Structure 1
Amino acid sequence: MKWWRTWKTLPVYSWVKAAKHYKEGKFETAAHWYERGLKRHKNHPAELCARLDLAYCLFQGKKLEEAESHLKFVAHHMPHSKEAHLRLARLQLWTGRSLDAAWTMRRALRSSPHEPELVAFFMYSVLDNGGPKYLLKEAIDASLCIEEEAEFNLLLEATKARVSQIRGKGAGAQEYLERLAGNEKAPLEVLLIVGELAIKDREIAKARRYLRKALSISPDHPRVLSLLAESYLQSGPFYNPDYAQQLVTTACQNTNWLSPREMHVLAEAYYHQEDKISALIIASKAKEEGSRLLGTYRDAAMLDRLIENLSTGTQA
Protein backbone atom coordinates (compact mmCIF):
# COMPACT_ATOMS: atom_id res chain seq x y z
CA MET A 1 0.00 0.00 0.00
CA LYS A 2 2.82 2.42 0.87
CA TRP A 3 4.43 1.87 -2.55
CA TRP A 4 1.08 2.48 -4.30
CA ARG A 5 0.44 5.68 -2.33
CA THR A 6 3.89 7.03 -3.20
CA TRP A 7 4.33 5.96 -6.83
CA LYS A 8 0.82 4.97 -8.01
CA THR A 9 2.27 1.77 -9.52
CA LEU A 10 2.68 -1.85 -8.54
CA PRO A 11 5.89 -2.49 -6.55
CA VAL A 12 9.10 -3.14 -8.45
CA TYR A 13 10.38 -6.33 -6.83
CA SER A 14 14.03 -5.59 -7.62
CA TRP A 15 13.92 -2.22 -5.87
CA VAL A 16 12.01 -3.56 -2.87
CA LYS A 17 14.72 -6.18 -2.48
CA ALA A 18 17.45 -3.57 -3.06
CA ALA A 19 16.00 -1.32 -0.36
CA LYS A 20 16.07 -4.21 2.13
CA HIS A 21 19.76 -4.86 1.47
CA TYR A 22 20.46 -1.10 1.55
CA LYS A 23 18.98 -0.81 5.06
CA GLU A 24 21.10 -3.78 6.16
CA GLY A 25 24.26 -2.10 4.85
CA LYS A 26 24.78 -4.74 2.15
CA PHE A 27 25.57 -2.14 -0.49
CA GLU A 28 27.11 -4.37 -3.14
CA THR A 29 24.07 -6.65 -3.17
CA ALA A 30 21.73 -3.66 -3.08
CA ALA A 31 23.53 -2.12 -6.07
CA HIS A 32 22.99 -5.34 -8.04
CA TRP A 33 19.22 -5.20 -7.47
CA TYR A 34 18.95 -1.46 -8.13
CA GLU A 35 20.78 -1.91 -11.45
CA ARG A 36 18.62 -4.88 -12.37
CA GLY A 37 15.48 -2.83 -11.73
CA LEU A 38 16.78 0.09 -13.80
CA LYS A 39 17.38 -2.20 -16.78
CA ARG A 40 13.84 -3.57 -16.65
CA HIS A 41 11.88 -0.46 -15.63
CA LYS A 42 13.11 2.50 -17.62
CA ASN A 43 11.18 5.75 -17.15
CA HIS A 44 9.51 4.42 -14.00
CA PRO A 45 8.29 7.12 -11.56
CA ALA A 46 10.65 5.73 -8.90
CA GLU A 47 13.65 5.61 -11.24
CA LEU A 48 15.35 8.76 -9.95
CA CYS A 49 15.03 7.73 -6.31
CA ALA A 50 16.45 4.33 -7.21
CA ARG A 51 19.39 6.02 -8.92
CA LEU A 52 20.07 8.16 -5.84
CA ASP A 53 20.22 5.06 -3.65
CA LEU A 54 22.27 3.21 -6.25
CA ALA A 55 24.78 6.07 -6.35
CA TYR A 56 25.26 5.78 -2.59
CA CYS A 57 25.78 2.01 -2.87
CA LEU A 58 28.35 2.52 -5.63
CA PHE A 59 30.10 5.19 -3.56
CA GLN A 60 30.34 2.76 -0.65
CA GLY A 61 31.90 0.26 -3.06
CA LYS A 62 34.41 2.93 -4.22
CA LYS A 63 32.92 2.96 -7.73
CA LEU A 64 33.12 6.72 -7.68
CA GLU A 65 32.85 7.48 -11.38
CA GLU A 66 29.78 5.24 -11.76
CA ALA A 67 28.20 6.89 -8.72
CA GLU A 68 28.85 10.32 -10.20
CA SER A 69 27.21 9.41 -13.50
CA HIS A 70 23.98 8.43 -11.71
CA LEU A 71 24.03 11.60 -9.59
CA LYS A 72 24.51 13.72 -12.71
CA PHE A 73 21.55 11.96 -14.33
CA VAL A 74 19.32 12.68 -11.33
CA ALA A 75 20.50 16.30 -10.99
CA HIS A 76 19.82 16.87 -14.70
CA HIS A 77 16.32 15.38 -14.57
CA MET A 78 15.49 16.90 -11.17
CA PRO A 79 16.93 20.43 -11.37
CA HIS A 80 14.94 21.40 -8.25
CA SER A 81 16.43 18.58 -6.16
CA LYS A 82 18.64 20.09 -3.47
CA GLU A 83 19.68 16.61 -2.29
CA ALA A 84 20.84 15.43 -5.73
CA HIS A 85 23.01 18.50 -6.28
CA LEU A 86 24.51 18.42 -2.79
CA ARG A 87 25.38 14.74 -3.10
CA LEU A 88 26.98 15.34 -6.49
CA ALA A 89 29.00 18.32 -5.22
CA ARG A 90 30.18 16.37 -2.17
CA LEU A 91 31.36 13.53 -4.39
CA GLN A 92 33.19 15.97 -6.67
CA LEU A 93 34.88 17.56 -3.65
CA TRP A 94 35.78 14.06 -2.41
CA THR A 95 37.74 13.44 -5.61
CA GLY A 96 39.45 16.83 -5.55
CA ARG A 97 37.38 18.53 -8.25
CA SER A 98 36.21 21.63 -6.44
CA LEU A 99 35.50 23.65 -9.59
CA ASP A 100 33.16 20.90 -10.83
CA ALA A 101 31.44 21.11 -7.44
CA ALA A 102 31.16 24.90 -7.77
CA TRP A 103 29.44 24.58 -11.15
CA THR A 104 27.12 21.91 -9.76
CA MET A 105 26.04 24.25 -6.97
CA ARG A 106 25.73 27.16 -9.39
CA ARG A 107 23.24 25.12 -11.43
CA ALA A 108 21.35 24.19 -8.26
CA LEU A 109 21.00 27.87 -7.36
CA ARG A 110 19.10 28.54 -10.59
CA SER A 111 16.13 26.75 -9.04
CA SER A 112 16.68 27.82 -5.41
CA PRO A 113 18.67 31.08 -5.47
CA HIS A 114 18.06 31.94 -1.80
CA GLU A 115 18.67 28.53 -0.23
CA PRO A 116 21.40 29.06 2.46
CA GLU A 117 22.87 25.55 2.27
CA LEU A 118 23.26 25.71 -1.51
CA VAL A 119 24.84 29.17 -1.35
CA ALA A 120 27.18 27.96 1.40
CA PHE A 121 28.35 24.97 -0.63
CA PHE A 122 28.75 27.14 -3.73
CA MET A 123 30.99 29.57 -1.85
CA TYR A 124 32.89 26.75 -0.13
CA SER A 125 33.61 25.03 -3.45
CA VAL A 126 34.84 28.25 -5.07
CA LEU A 127 37.07 29.03 -2.07
CA ASP A 128 38.43 25.49 -2.06
CA ASN A 129 39.30 25.88 -5.73
CA GLY A 130 40.98 29.26 -5.15
CA GLY A 131 38.60 31.10 -7.49
CA PRO A 132 37.91 32.16 -10.16
CA LYS A 133 37.08 35.68 -8.99
CA TYR A 134 33.85 36.00 -10.99
CA LEU A 135 32.42 32.87 -9.36
CA LEU A 136 33.46 34.10 -5.92
CA LYS A 137 31.67 37.38 -6.64
CA GLU A 138 28.56 35.44 -7.69
CA ALA A 139 28.71 33.44 -4.47
CA ILE A 140 29.09 36.58 -2.35
CA ASP A 141 26.22 38.28 -4.19
CA ALA A 142 24.06 35.19 -3.63
CA SER A 143 24.86 35.27 0.10
CA LEU A 144 23.73 38.89 0.29
CA CYS A 145 20.34 37.97 -1.16
CA ILE A 146 19.50 35.43 1.54
CA GLU A 147 16.55 36.53 3.65
CA GLU A 148 17.33 37.65 7.19
CA GLU A 149 14.78 35.18 8.56
CA ALA A 150 16.60 32.24 6.94
CA GLU A 151 17.91 29.51 9.22
CA PHE A 152 21.43 30.16 10.56
CA ASN A 153 23.96 28.18 8.52
CA LEU A 154 27.37 27.47 10.07
CA LEU A 155 29.10 26.81 6.74
CA LEU A 156 27.73 29.97 5.18
CA GLU A 157 28.99 32.00 8.14
CA ALA A 158 32.40 30.33 7.90
CA THR A 159 32.78 30.96 4.18
CA LYS A 160 31.76 34.61 4.59
CA ALA A 161 34.36 35.01 7.35
CA ARG A 162 36.98 33.36 5.16
CA VAL A 163 36.18 35.76 2.30
CA SER A 164 36.66 38.69 4.71
CA GLN A 165 40.09 37.31 5.62
CA ILE A 166 41.12 36.92 1.99
CA ARG A 167 40.04 40.48 1.25
CA GLY A 168 42.06 41.82 4.18
CA LYS A 169 38.95 42.87 6.09
CA GLY A 170 38.99 40.01 8.53
CA ALA A 171 39.44 41.68 11.91
CA GLY A 172 38.08 39.09 14.30
CA ALA A 173 37.36 36.63 11.47
CA GLN A 174 39.80 34.00 12.75
CA GLU A 175 38.26 34.02 16.22
CA TYR A 176 34.81 33.79 14.67
CA LEU A 177 35.87 30.84 12.51
CA GLU A 178 37.23 29.03 15.55
CA ARG A 179 33.99 29.66 17.45
CA LEU A 180 32.04 28.19 14.53
CA ALA A 181 34.35 25.17 14.41
CA GLY A 182 33.92 24.73 18.16
CA ASN A 183 30.15 24.43 17.77
CA GLU A 184 29.06 20.85 18.48
CA LYS A 185 27.06 20.91 15.23
CA ALA A 186 29.93 22.24 13.10
CA PRO A 187 29.81 20.50 9.69
CA LEU A 188 32.83 18.79 8.20
CA GLU A 189 33.59 21.64 5.80
CA VAL A 190 33.90 24.23 8.59
CA LEU A 191 36.39 21.98 10.39
CA LEU A 192 38.38 21.57 7.17
CA ILE A 193 38.56 25.34 6.64
CA VAL A 194 39.81 25.99 10.17
CA GLY A 195 42.09 22.95 10.26
CA GLU A 196 43.81 23.92 7.01
CA LEU A 197 44.29 27.51 8.20
CA ALA A 198 45.83 26.25 11.46
CA ILE A 199 48.34 24.14 9.51
CA LYS A 200 49.31 27.14 7.40
CA ASP A 201 49.84 29.12 10.61
CA ARG A 202 51.98 26.24 12.03
CA GLU A 203 49.51 25.75 14.87
CA ILE A 204 49.70 21.98 14.61
CA ALA A 205 48.11 21.04 17.94
CA LYS A 206 45.13 23.26 17.13
CA ALA A 207 44.87 21.83 13.62
CA ARG A 208 44.87 18.29 14.98
CA ARG A 209 42.06 19.13 17.38
CA TYR A 210 39.78 20.25 14.55
CA LEU A 211 40.85 17.47 12.20
CA ARG A 212 40.22 14.77 14.81
CA LYS A 213 36.72 16.15 15.18
CA ALA A 214 36.38 16.02 11.39
CA LEU A 215 37.65 12.44 11.47
CA SER A 216 34.84 11.49 13.85
CA ILE A 217 32.34 12.82 11.29
CA SER A 218 33.90 11.23 8.20
CA PRO A 219 36.78 8.83 9.01
CA ASP A 220 37.47 8.00 5.35
CA HIS A 221 37.31 11.53 3.93
CA PRO A 222 40.39 12.13 1.73
CA ARG A 223 40.77 15.78 2.69
CA VAL A 224 40.67 15.03 6.41
CA LEU A 225 43.32 12.33 6.00
CA SER A 226 45.58 14.41 3.75
CA LEU A 227 45.40 17.45 6.06
CA LEU A 228 46.30 15.24 9.01
CA ALA A 229 49.19 13.91 6.92
CA GLU A 230 50.33 17.47 6.24
CA SER A 231 50.36 18.13 9.98
CA TYR A 232 52.89 15.31 10.37
CA LEU A 233 55.14 16.81 7.68
CA GLN A 234 55.65 20.06 9.61
CA SER A 235 58.98 20.41 11.40
CA GLY A 236 58.79 20.15 15.18
CA PRO A 237 57.74 17.61 17.81
CA PHE A 238 54.87 16.27 15.67
CA TYR A 239 57.07 15.49 12.63
CA ASN A 240 56.46 11.91 11.42
CA PRO A 241 56.77 11.45 7.63
CA ASP A 242 56.21 7.68 7.84
CA TYR A 243 52.81 8.11 9.45
CA ALA A 244 52.02 10.97 7.07
CA GLN A 245 52.70 8.67 4.14
CA GLN A 246 50.35 6.00 5.55
CA LEU A 247 47.55 8.52 6.08
CA VAL A 248 47.76 10.15 2.68
CA THR A 249 48.15 6.83 0.85
CA THR A 250 44.77 5.88 2.31
CA ALA A 251 43.43 9.26 1.19
CA CYS A 252 44.62 8.65 -2.38
CA GLN A 253 43.09 5.17 -2.38
CA ASN A 254 39.78 6.61 -1.16
CA THR A 255 39.68 8.95 -4.17
CA ASN A 256 40.56 6.10 -6.57
CA TRP A 257 43.74 8.10 -7.30
CA LEU A 258 41.71 10.88 -8.92
CA SER A 259 42.60 13.83 -6.66
CA PRO A 260 45.75 15.79 -7.57
CA ARG A 261 45.83 17.42 -4.14
CA GLU A 262 46.03 14.15 -2.21
CA MET A 263 48.69 12.79 -4.59
CA HIS A 264 50.65 16.05 -4.20
CA VAL A 265 50.73 15.54 -0.42
CA LEU A 266 51.77 11.91 -0.91
CA ALA A 267 54.64 13.04 -3.14
CA GLU A 268 55.71 15.45 -0.39
CA ALA A 269 55.61 12.61 2.14
CA TYR A 270 57.87 10.46 -0.04
CA TYR A 271 60.18 13.46 -0.48
CA HIS A 272 60.45 13.82 3.30
CA GLN A 273 61.35 10.13 3.47
CA GLU A 274 64.09 10.78 0.88
CA ASP A 275 62.40 8.42 -1.60
CA LYS A 276 62.78 10.77 -4.55
CA ILE A 277 61.91 8.20 -7.22
CA SER A 278 58.51 7.42 -5.67
CA ALA A 279 57.96 11.12 -4.99
CA LEU A 280 58.60 12.00 -8.65
CA ILE A 281 56.30 9.24 -9.93
CA ILE A 282 53.43 10.35 -7.69
CA ALA A 283 54.03 14.07 -8.32
CA SER A 284 53.94 13.45 -12.07
CA LYS A 285 50.68 11.53 -11.71
CA ALA A 286 49.27 14.40 -9.64
CA LYS A 287 50.19 16.83 -12.41
CA GLU A 288 48.59 14.56 -15.01
CA GLU A 289 45.33 14.39 -13.04
CA GLY A 290 45.52 18.14 -12.41
CA SER A 291 45.63 18.75 -16.16
CA ARG A 292 42.31 16.89 -16.48
CA LEU A 293 40.52 19.19 -14.06
CA LEU A 294 37.85 21.57 -15.29
CA GLY A 295 40.06 24.47 -14.15
CA THR A 296 43.60 24.60 -12.81
CA TYR A 297 44.83 22.71 -9.78
CA ARG A 298 45.05 25.28 -6.98
CA ASP A 299 48.63 24.41 -5.96
CA ALA A 300 49.91 23.74 -9.48
CA ALA A 301 52.88 26.12 -9.11
CA MET A 302 54.03 24.38 -5.91
CA LEU A 303 53.64 20.99 -7.58
CA ASP A 304 55.71 22.13 -10.57
CA ARG A 305 58.48 23.31 -8.24
CA LEU A 306 58.46 19.96 -6.45
CA ILE A 307 58.71 18.08 -9.76
CA GLU A 308 61.56 20.34 -10.87
CA ASN A 309 63.48 19.74 -7.63
CA LEU A 310 62.87 16.00 -7.81
CA SER A 311 63.88 15.80 -11.48
CA THR A 312 67.15 17.58 -10.74
CA GLY A 313 67.84 15.33 -7.77
CA THR A 314 67.11 12.04 -9.55
CA GLN A 315 69.17 13.00 -12.60
CA ALA A 316 72.14 13.79 -10.38
Structure 2
Amino acid sequence: MTESGLFTRRRLLTLAACASAALALEGRAAQVMSDARSDPQGDAKMLTRNIPSTDEALPMIGVGTYRGFDVEPGSDAYKLLPQVIDELFRAGGIVIDSSPMYGRAEQTTGELLSIHQPRSPAFLATKVWTRGREAGIAQMEESFRLLQTERIDLMQIHNLLDWKIHLPTLRQWKEQGRIRYIGITHYTPSAYDEVEAMIRAEPLDFLQINYALDDRGVEKRLLPLCRERGVAVICNRPFGGGGLLARLRDKRLPGWAGEVQASSWAQLALKFLISHPAVTCAIPGTGNPRYMKENAAAAMGPLLTDAQRQQLIALVG
Protein backbone atom coordinates (compact mmCIF):
# COMPACT_ATOMS: atom_id res chain seq x y z
CA MET A 1 0.00 0.00 0.00
CA THR A 2 1.06 3.57 -0.57
CA GLU A 3 1.89 6.00 2.21
CA SER A 4 -1.23 7.98 1.36
CA GLY A 5 -3.38 4.91 2.12
CA LEU A 6 -1.88 4.03 5.47
CA PHE A 7 -0.54 5.90 8.46
CA THR A 8 3.21 5.75 8.50
CA ARG A 9 4.97 4.88 11.70
CA ARG A 10 6.03 8.51 12.08
CA ARG A 11 2.48 9.79 11.66
CA LEU A 12 1.18 7.24 14.19
CA LEU A 13 3.76 8.30 16.72
CA THR A 14 2.92 11.95 16.14
CA LEU A 15 -0.80 11.36 16.61
CA ALA A 16 -0.16 9.33 19.75
CA ALA A 17 1.96 12.10 21.18
CA CYS A 18 -0.71 14.69 20.40
CA ALA A 19 -3.40 12.55 22.01
CA SER A 20 -1.28 12.08 25.10
CA ALA A 21 -0.64 15.81 25.34
CA ALA A 22 -4.34 16.58 24.91
CA LEU A 23 -5.27 14.21 27.75
CA ALA A 24 -2.68 15.79 29.98
CA LEU A 25 -3.96 19.28 29.25
CA GLU A 26 -7.54 18.18 29.86
CA GLY A 27 -6.56 16.81 33.24
CA ARG A 28 -4.82 20.04 34.19
CA ALA A 29 -7.76 22.15 33.07
CA ALA A 30 -10.02 20.20 35.40
CA GLN A 31 -7.98 21.14 38.45
CA VAL A 32 -9.18 24.03 40.59
CA MET A 33 -5.70 25.44 40.77
CA SER A 34 -3.28 25.36 37.85
CA ASP A 35 0.39 24.58 38.06
CA ALA A 36 2.86 27.30 37.24
CA ARG A 37 3.10 27.84 33.50
CA SER A 38 5.61 29.36 31.11
CA ASP A 39 5.07 31.45 28.03
CA PRO A 40 7.19 31.21 24.86
CA GLN A 41 9.54 33.90 26.24
CA GLY A 42 10.19 31.80 29.33
CA ASP A 43 8.44 34.08 31.84
CA ALA A 44 6.81 32.18 34.70
CA LYS A 45 3.04 32.61 34.99
CA MET A 46 1.10 32.84 38.19
CA LEU A 47 -1.20 30.22 39.63
CA THR A 48 -4.92 30.43 39.06
CA ARG A 49 -8.00 29.37 40.97
CA ASN A 50 -11.40 28.80 39.40
CA ILE A 51 -14.37 31.10 39.91
CA PRO A 52 -16.91 28.70 41.47
CA SER A 53 -19.95 29.94 39.55
CA THR A 54 -18.39 29.34 36.11
CA ASP A 55 -15.12 27.41 36.59
CA GLU A 56 -13.30 30.22 34.75
CA ALA A 57 -9.67 30.28 35.89
CA LEU A 58 -8.60 33.55 37.48
CA PRO A 59 -4.97 34.47 38.24
CA MET A 60 -4.50 34.73 41.98
CA ILE A 61 -2.85 38.16 42.24
CA GLY A 62 -4.25 41.35 40.74
CA VAL A 63 -3.83 45.04 41.48
CA GLY A 64 -5.97 47.52 43.37
CA THR A 65 -6.06 51.08 42.04
CA TYR A 66 -6.86 52.98 45.24
CA ARG A 67 -4.39 55.87 45.59
CA GLY A 68 -1.81 54.39 43.23
CA PHE A 69 -3.89 55.15 40.10
CA ASP A 70 -5.46 58.36 41.40
CA VAL A 71 -2.79 60.51 39.79
CA GLU A 72 -2.72 63.17 37.09
CA PRO A 73 -1.39 62.59 33.56
CA GLY A 74 2.11 63.95 33.15
CA SER A 75 3.03 63.42 36.79
CA ASP A 76 5.99 61.25 37.73
CA ALA A 77 3.62 58.79 39.40
CA TYR A 78 1.47 58.52 36.25
CA LYS A 79 4.52 57.80 34.10
CA LEU A 80 5.23 54.67 36.17
CA LEU A 81 1.79 53.14 35.70
CA PRO A 82 2.22 51.66 32.18
CA GLN A 83 5.05 49.58 33.61
CA VAL A 84 2.83 48.51 36.52
CA ILE A 85 0.30 47.20 34.00
CA ASP A 86 3.08 45.53 32.01
CA GLU A 87 4.41 43.76 35.10
CA LEU A 88 0.93 42.50 35.99
CA PHE A 89 0.27 41.12 32.51
CA ARG A 90 3.79 39.75 32.08
CA ALA A 91 3.33 37.66 35.21
CA GLY A 92 0.02 36.31 33.92
CA GLY A 93 -2.18 38.52 36.12
CA ILE A 94 -5.28 40.21 34.74
CA VAL A 95 -7.42 41.47 37.65
CA ILE A 96 -7.61 45.26 37.99
CA ASP A 97 -9.97 46.51 40.69
CA SER A 98 -11.17 50.10 40.75
CA SER A 99 -14.06 52.24 41.98
CA PRO A 100 -15.80 55.59 41.42
CA MET A 101 -14.65 56.46 44.97
CA TYR A 102 -10.97 56.25 44.04
CA GLY A 103 -10.71 59.70 42.53
CA ARG A 104 -9.23 59.49 39.04
CA ALA A 105 -8.41 55.76 39.22
CA GLU A 106 -11.08 54.50 36.79
CA GLN A 107 -10.15 57.11 34.20
CA THR A 108 -6.46 56.36 34.58
CA THR A 109 -7.14 52.63 34.18
CA GLY A 110 -9.14 53.25 31.02
CA GLU A 111 -6.41 55.43 29.56
CA LEU A 112 -3.67 52.92 30.26
CA LEU A 113 -5.57 49.95 28.86
CA SER A 114 -6.68 51.85 25.74
CA ILE A 115 -3.07 52.28 24.62
CA HIS A 116 -1.73 48.93 25.82
CA GLN A 117 -0.21 46.73 23.14
CA PRO A 118 -0.97 43.93 22.56
CA ARG A 119 -4.64 44.22 23.38
CA SER A 120 -5.30 44.23 27.09
CA PRO A 121 -6.31 40.91 28.72
CA ALA A 122 -7.60 42.75 31.81
CA PHE A 123 -10.35 41.41 34.06
CA LEU A 124 -12.00 44.71 35.00
CA ALA A 125 -13.70 45.04 38.36
CA THR A 126 -15.34 48.17 39.71
CA LYS A 127 -18.14 49.18 42.07
CA VAL A 128 -21.39 51.04 42.53
CA TRP A 129 -21.65 53.14 45.70
CA THR A 130 -24.63 55.43 45.79
CA ARG A 131 -28.30 55.43 46.74
CA GLY A 132 -31.20 55.11 44.33
CA ARG A 133 -31.76 53.17 41.13
CA GLU A 134 -31.21 56.02 38.68
CA ALA A 135 -28.17 57.31 40.55
CA GLY A 136 -26.71 53.81 40.52
CA ILE A 137 -27.29 53.42 36.80
CA ALA A 138 -25.73 56.83 36.11
CA GLN A 139 -22.68 55.99 38.21
CA MET A 140 -22.16 52.63 36.52
CA GLU A 141 -22.60 54.13 33.04
CA GLU A 142 -19.90 56.63 33.94
CA SER A 143 -17.64 53.73 34.93
CA PHE A 144 -18.11 52.20 31.48
CA ARG A 145 -17.16 55.54 29.92
CA LEU A 146 -14.11 56.13 32.09
CA LEU A 147 -12.85 52.56 31.72
CA GLN A 148 -13.40 52.82 27.95
CA THR A 149 -15.10 49.45 27.74
CA GLU A 150 -18.39 47.99 26.61
CA ARG A 151 -18.24 45.18 29.16
CA ILE A 152 -17.17 45.12 32.80
CA ASP A 153 -16.14 41.74 34.14
CA LEU A 154 -17.20 42.29 37.75
CA MET A 155 -19.59 44.91 39.14
CA GLN A 156 -19.67 45.05 42.92
CA ILE A 157 -22.10 46.73 45.30
CA HIS A 158 -19.70 48.55 47.58
CA ASN A 159 -20.30 48.29 51.32
CA LEU A 160 -23.75 46.82 50.52
CA LEU A 161 -25.05 50.37 50.03
CA ASP A 162 -28.66 50.21 48.80
CA TRP A 163 -28.04 46.68 47.56
CA LYS A 164 -31.72 45.76 47.27
CA ILE A 165 -32.13 48.60 44.76
CA HIS A 166 -28.97 47.94 42.74
CA LEU A 167 -29.10 44.15 42.55
CA PRO A 168 -31.98 43.92 40.02
CA THR A 169 -30.09 46.28 37.68
CA LEU A 170 -26.94 44.21 37.97
CA ARG A 171 -28.85 41.02 37.23
CA GLN A 172 -30.46 42.58 34.17
CA TRP A 173 -27.12 43.83 32.88
CA LYS A 174 -25.57 40.43 33.47
CA GLU A 175 -28.31 38.81 31.37
CA GLN A 176 -27.62 41.40 28.65
CA GLY A 177 -23.88 40.69 28.74
CA ARG A 178 -22.86 44.15 29.91
CA ILE A 179 -21.34 42.69 33.06
CA ARG A 180 -20.10 39.15 33.56
CA TYR A 181 -20.15 38.73 37.34
CA ILE A 182 -21.97 40.27 40.31
CA GLY A 183 -20.37 40.83 43.68
CA ILE A 184 -20.48 42.71 46.95
CA THR A 185 -17.70 44.32 48.97
CA HIS A 186 -16.92 45.37 52.50
CA TYR A 187 -13.88 45.97 54.67
CA THR A 188 -15.08 46.26 58.26
CA PRO A 189 -15.80 43.42 60.74
CA SER A 190 -18.89 45.26 62.01
CA ALA A 191 -20.56 44.47 58.67
CA TYR A 192 -19.81 40.73 58.65
CA ASP A 193 -23.26 39.73 59.93
CA GLU A 194 -24.95 41.68 57.14
CA VAL A 195 -22.53 40.29 54.55
CA GLU A 196 -23.21 36.75 55.77
CA ALA A 197 -26.97 37.26 55.61
CA MET A 198 -26.79 38.51 52.02
CA ILE A 199 -24.57 35.64 50.89
CA ARG A 200 -27.07 33.20 52.38
CA ALA A 201 -30.05 34.97 50.79
CA GLU A 202 -28.82 35.92 47.31
CA PRO A 203 -26.90 34.12 44.55
CA LEU A 204 -23.63 36.02 44.11
CA ASP A 205 -20.47 35.39 42.10
CA PHE A 206 -17.97 37.31 44.25
CA LEU A 207 -17.31 38.68 47.70
CA GLN A 208 -14.53 41.23 48.11
CA ILE A 209 -13.55 41.46 51.78
CA ASN A 210 -10.68 42.48 54.06
CA TYR A 211 -8.33 39.61 54.86
CA ALA A 212 -4.72 39.73 55.96
CA LEU A 213 -2.25 37.79 58.05
CA ASP A 214 -3.06 40.06 61.00
CA ASP A 215 -6.76 40.49 60.12
CA ARG A 216 -8.27 37.02 59.98
CA GLY A 217 -11.84 37.61 61.13
CA VAL A 218 -13.31 36.24 57.89
CA GLU A 219 -11.83 32.80 58.51
CA LYS A 220 -14.41 31.85 61.10
CA ARG A 221 -17.65 32.15 59.11
CA LEU A 222 -17.38 34.08 55.86
CA LEU A 223 -14.71 32.05 54.06
CA PRO A 224 -16.33 28.69 54.88
CA LEU A 225 -19.69 30.10 53.82
CA CYS A 226 -18.28 31.29 50.48
CA ARG A 227 -16.93 27.79 49.80
CA GLU A 228 -20.30 26.32 50.69
CA ARG A 229 -22.23 28.77 48.51
CA GLY A 230 -19.81 28.79 45.57
CA VAL A 231 -18.78 32.44 45.93
CA ALA A 232 -15.35 33.58 44.75
CA VAL A 233 -13.37 35.66 47.26
CA ILE A 234 -11.19 38.68 46.48
CA CYS A 235 -9.00 39.90 49.35
CA ASN A 236 -8.71 43.63 49.81
CA ARG A 237 -6.35 45.24 52.35
CA PRO A 238 -4.06 42.17 52.04
CA PHE A 239 -1.32 43.86 54.04
CA GLY A 240 -3.64 44.83 56.86
CA GLY A 241 -3.77 48.49 55.91
CA GLY A 242 0.02 48.81 55.78
CA GLY A 243 0.97 48.14 59.40
CA LEU A 244 1.64 44.44 58.91
CA LEU A 245 4.74 44.82 56.74
CA ALA A 246 6.16 47.50 59.01
CA ARG A 247 5.87 45.11 61.97
CA LEU A 248 7.55 42.29 60.07
CA ARG A 249 10.30 44.36 58.48
CA ASP A 250 13.00 43.52 61.05
CA LYS A 251 12.07 39.85 61.46
CA ARG A 252 13.98 37.15 59.60
CA LEU A 253 12.09 35.21 56.97
CA PRO A 254 11.29 31.62 57.94
CA GLY A 255 13.91 29.12 56.88
CA TRP A 256 11.45 27.49 54.48
CA ALA A 257 10.69 30.73 52.58
CA GLY A 258 12.99 29.75 49.73
CA GLU A 259 11.18 26.44 49.36
CA VAL A 260 7.99 28.32 48.42
CA GLN A 261 9.92 30.82 46.26
CA ALA A 262 9.29 33.75 48.61
CA SER A 263 12.01 36.34 49.09
CA SER A 264 10.09 38.99 51.07
CA TRP A 265 7.48 39.38 53.79
CA ALA A 266 5.10 40.88 51.24
CA GLN A 267 5.24 37.69 49.20
CA LEU A 268 4.71 35.50 52.27
CA ALA A 269 1.78 37.66 53.40
CA LEU A 270 0.15 37.25 49.99
CA LYS A 271 0.93 33.52 49.84
CA PHE A 272 -0.76 33.17 53.22
CA LEU A 273 -3.98 34.54 51.71
CA ILE A 274 -4.06 32.70 48.41
CA SER A 275 -3.15 29.43 50.12
CA HIS A 276 -6.56 29.46 51.79
CA PRO A 277 -8.81 27.27 49.60
CA ALA A 278 -11.67 29.77 49.67
CA VAL A 279 -9.58 32.66 48.32
CA THR A 280 -9.67 33.27 44.59
CA CYS A 281 -7.53 36.40 44.25
CA ALA A 282 -5.76 39.08 46.29
CA ILE A 283 -5.50 42.68 45.05
CA PRO A 284 -2.67 44.59 46.72
CA GLY A 285 -2.71 48.19 45.59
CA THR A 286 0.39 49.77 44.11
CA GLY A 287 1.58 52.33 41.62
CA ASN A 288 5.15 51.03 41.78
CA PRO A 289 6.34 48.59 39.07
CA ARG A 290 8.86 46.96 41.41
CA TYR A 291 6.19 46.23 43.99
CA MET A 292 3.84 44.95 41.29
CA LYS A 293 6.47 42.49 40.10
CA GLU A 294 7.18 41.39 43.69
CA ASN A 295 3.48 40.98 44.48
CA ALA A 296 2.80 38.99 41.32
CA ALA A 297 5.61 36.58 42.13
CA ALA A 298 3.74 35.56 45.29
CA ALA A 299 1.41 33.51 43.08
CA MET A 300 4.30 31.55 41.58
CA GLY A 301 5.87 28.47 43.06
CA PRO A 302 4.34 26.34 45.84
CA LEU A 303 1.59 27.64 48.07
CA LEU A 304 1.85 27.31 51.85
CA THR A 305 1.01 24.22 53.85
CA ASP A 306 -1.29 24.48 56.85
CA ALA A 307 1.74 24.15 59.10
CA GLN A 308 3.52 27.02 57.35
CA ARG A 309 0.42 29.21 57.62
CA GLN A 310 0.25 28.53 61.34
CA GLN A 311 3.92 29.45 61.73
CA LEU A 312 3.26 32.82 60.11
CA ILE A 313 0.29 33.43 62.41
CA ALA A 314 2.54 32.69 65.40
CA LEU A 315 5.20 35.09 64.11
CA VAL A 316 2.70 37.92 63.85
CA GLY A 317 1.38 37.17 67.34
Normalising to structure 1: TM-score of the pair? 0.32
Higher-strand-fraction structure = 2
Higher-helix-fraction structure = 1
Normalising to structure 2: TM-score of the pair? 0.32
Task: Pick 1 or 2: higher relative contact order, CA cutoff 8 A, min separation 6.
Answer: 2
